[in-house]
């Protein structure tokens, strides 16, 4: 299972060296699922950053605290 970026790098390395077959197909599916979720997370972070950009002039530490807090809730 691919659960993080390090897993994804290792899975890609293995997949490139692996012959076609069910194991390679499963690894590819796992990688695509991870990448889909990773991309969704980045989109959500970007949306939140856009919302917070209205607070120009606000100290960055406060923006980061608000961003972190809203992502965890």
| pTM of the predicted structure, to 2 decimals | 0.61
Across 9-32, average pLDDT: 93
Q: For residues 24-34, b (16+ Cβ closer than 10 Å) or e, as one string? A: eeebeebbeeb
Phi–psi pair at 40, nearest 5 degrees? -60, -40
pLDDT in tens, 54-63: 766 777 777 7
Across 38-62, average pLDDT: 80
């Amino acid at each position: 299972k691919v659960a993080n970026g390090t897993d994804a790098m290792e899975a890609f390395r293995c997949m490139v060296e692996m012959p076609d077959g069910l194991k390679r197909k499963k690894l590819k599916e796992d990688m695509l699922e991870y990448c889909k979720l990773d991309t969704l997370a980045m989109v959500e972070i970007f949306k939140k950053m856009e919302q917070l950009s209205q607070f120009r002039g606000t100290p960055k530490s406060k923006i980061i605290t608000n961003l972190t807090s809203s992502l965890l809730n």
